[in-house]
Chain A
Amino acid sequence: AQRVTQPEKLLSVFKGAPVELKCNYSYSGSPELFWYVQYSRQRLQLLLRHISRESIKGFTADLNKGETSFHLKKPFAQEEDSAMYYCALRETSGSRLTFGEGTQLTVNP
Chain B
Amino acid sequence: NAGVTQTPKFRVLKTGQSMTLLCAQDMNHEYMYWYRQDPGMGLRLIHYSVGEGTTAKGEVPDGYNVSRLKKQNFLLGLESAAPSQTSVYFCASRRTSGGAYEQYFGPGTRLTVT
Contact = CB atoms under 8 A, between A and B. Distances in A.
B107 interface: yes
A1 B47 CA distance: 17
Given A86-B43, A101-B42, A46 B102 contact: yes
A52 B40 contact: no
Contacts of B107: 43
Nearest to B30: A95
A44 B105 contact: yes
Interface string A79-90: 000000010001
What is the interface residue range for chain B against chain A? 20 to 34
B8 to A, nearest CB: 16
A101 B44 CA distance: 9
Contacts of B45: 96-98
A70 interface: no
Contacts of B101: 32, 49, 90
Given A44-B105, A96-B48, A102-B40, 11 more contacts: A9-B40, A45-B105, A46-B103, A49-B101, A86-B42, A95-B48, A96-B33, A96-B58, A97-B45, A99-B43, A99-B44
Across the A-B interface, give the 5 residue pairs with the lowest CB-CB distance, nearest first. Answer: A99-B43, A44-B105, A101-B42, A99-B42, A43-B105
